[in-house]
Amino acid sequence: MKTIVTSALPYSYSMPHLGNFTGSVLPADVYFKYLMMRGEDAIFICGSDQHGTPIELKAIKEKLEPEALADLIHGQIKDAFHDFGCTFTHYGKTHSEANRRVVGQFFDALNANKYIVEQASTQPYCANDRRFLTDRLIEGTCPYCKSNEARGDQCNNCGKLLTPSQIIDPHCNICGKSDITFKTVKNLAIALDKLQSGIKKFITSESKNDWTKNAVNKSLSYVDEGLKPRDITRHMKWGFPVPLKGFEDAVFYVWFDAILGYIGITKEWDEKRCDEYWKDADTRIVHFMGKDNIEFHTLMWPGVLLGSNLGYRMPTTIRASEYLTSKQVKFSKSKGVGLTIDKALEIMGPDYWRFVLMYIYPETADSEFTIDLFVEVVNKIMNGKVGNLVNRVLTIAASNKALITKSNPGKYEAEVEKMTKRYLEHFDRFGLREALHDLVALADYGNELMSTTEPWKLAKIAAESKDAASEFSSIMNALIDIIYKLGIMLHPFAPSASTAATSYFGITGQPHIRMFGTPHEINYSMEIKPIFGKITDAQIEMLEKYT
């Protein structure tokens, strides 16, 4: 079986903040690293979403061509993800020749299959700026939740899909004025109403494959309301031109070429191998995203795949996280403020952020990020529980290596095996946060074993007591086995710390799950160094700058 892992494509308008990263790229990378540890045939595909009005307008303000700006930010985002330890098979971009061909191929197929329709729609026009406003350029009050965070395509508060005409008290996002009229324009749309039965069948059948509940419930609620044709073109300049007479002044709507970007980016990586993955009946496709991206992956994306009938695989698993929120630290990509991933790395290394963000990963409910919580996880859990245990076991073992004979961990082995098995089971069920908590539970067990048996005391009397020597060796074998397994388990969450911990056992590079059951001995010639450290006052002060 092959696996394609994706995350929602980051928009190359500005650097993602921690909430964006936690909701999509980070869990996808953690899961992909786990698949690599299992030795599975998997690829991790992601890239920058480069089209849309915000980029066009920002380019105008900065006196750049949209493509130049999008590519500049794309490079910055790609570098930041690399620094965060993300291991994409390929991180591409939607404004590529490969994706242009894919978009054209799908449009032609949808049109030939009678799923492309012309529809007259009203589009907001700003009299002050003398231009049509795309969905993201009109803002106002949501007709459903009454939040003032509604845009012309979606409400940022409740997540409802919207059209510009539904916005209450709309205003232009460019000039801020309300001198808006709605004029009739002609657009092309995908006839989701004609595809509704197939989409519903897809949701009800595929949602058994570990979909998050929010993805199932939200998608079915839209289907029950009745799907309507959804525009795939917009009257603007930046984007892929529409190859159809009468639409020379239009480009494809950004959502259309963004979801097709999964295939386009894979083709950008390797044209031949793209079809080997995307058209193999045994391939499973796992999408990670925030809950605000559900509809695009469960309604529009399968609609495009079904309507085109080009033989590409449908999504298998939809993992939609809830929101990482913060009343203390600012997260706002649209407003250009808050703690972005590049700024986060200036405060602490990637392992710390990866571990903390996955420890509080909003898998089933919104999670609140606070500075106090960050400090607590770093100091008490990463350094205090995991790092301290590794350091103490290695130190005691190195000081008393002559007393440690080769033997099984004995009576402690069953409990350790149960914990590692639970870790694997949680990962296999996409319980990424739970798997990390299993790792911490194993560290707790090791610390409890250490404190209750006090092996350092047994070592002192081992020369005079065979029973003490035997008990010391048994306990140390158990503790050594625990930190060995902790080192392997750390890899998806804190890869650098994992490398540091497993190096004491002669492991280089990526560890494998099969190593759980292989013999292991400590290399006593290596200098013992901490794998984690505490956060400093200076680092806390840097973090507080974002409050």
Q: Do domains 2-112+199-205+254-321 and 344-517 have the same CATH topology?
A: no
Note the CATH number of domain 2-112+199-205+254-321: 3.40.50.620
DSSP state of 244: S
| CA dist., res. 482 & res. 413, Å (int) | 9
| CA dist., res. 325 & res. 3, Å (int) | 31
For residue 375, give the H/E element and its range.
helix 371-376
How confident is the prediction along the chain (547 residues), in pLDDT tens digits per residue?
999 999 999 999 999 999 999 999 999 999 999 999 999 999 999 999 999 988 988 998 899 999 999 999 999 999 999 999 999 999 999 999 999 999 999 999 999 999 999 998 788 999 998 888 878 789 999 999 999 989 998 898 898 889 898 999 999 988 899 999 998 889 999 999 999 999 999 999 998 989 999 999 999 999 999 999 999 999 888 999 999 999 998 999 999 999 999 999 999 999 999 999 999 999 999 999 999 999 999 999 999 999 999 999 999 999 999 999 888 776 665 555 578 999 999 999 999 999 999 999 999 999 999 999 999 999 999 999 999 999 999 999 999 999 998 766 667 889 999 999 999 999 999 999 999 999 999 999 999 999 999 999 999 999 899 999 999 999 999 999 999 999 999 999 999 999 999 999 999 999 999 999 888 899 999 999 999 999 999 999 999 988 7
What b-and-e string marks burial along 39-77, b requiring 16 or more CB atoms within 10 Å of the CB? eeebbbbbbbbbbbbbbbbbbeeeeeebeebbbebbeeb
The predicted pLDDT at position 300 comes to: 98
What b-and-e string marks burial along 178-201, b requiring 16 or more CB atoms within 10 Å of the CB? eebeeeebebbbbbbebbbeebbe
480: closest CA among 522, 528, 508?
522
Note the CATH number of domain 344-517: 1.10.730.10
261: closest CA among 113, 24, 97?
97
Pair of tokens at residue 397: 């073992």
DSSP state of 407: -
291: closest CA among 363, 227, 356?
363
| CA dist., res. 483 & res. 166, Å (int) | 57
Long-range CB contact pairs, 8-11, < 8 A, 24+: 8/287, 8/288, 8/289, 8/290, 8/293, 8/297, 9/46, 9/47, 9/48, 9/49, 9/94, 9/258, 9/261, 9/262, 10/46, 10/48, 10/49, 10/77, 11/48, 11/49, 11/52, 11/54, 11/333
Domain ranges of the chain: 2-112+199-205+254-321, 344-517
CB-based contact 226:196 (threshold 8 Å): yes
pTM (2 d.p.): 0.92
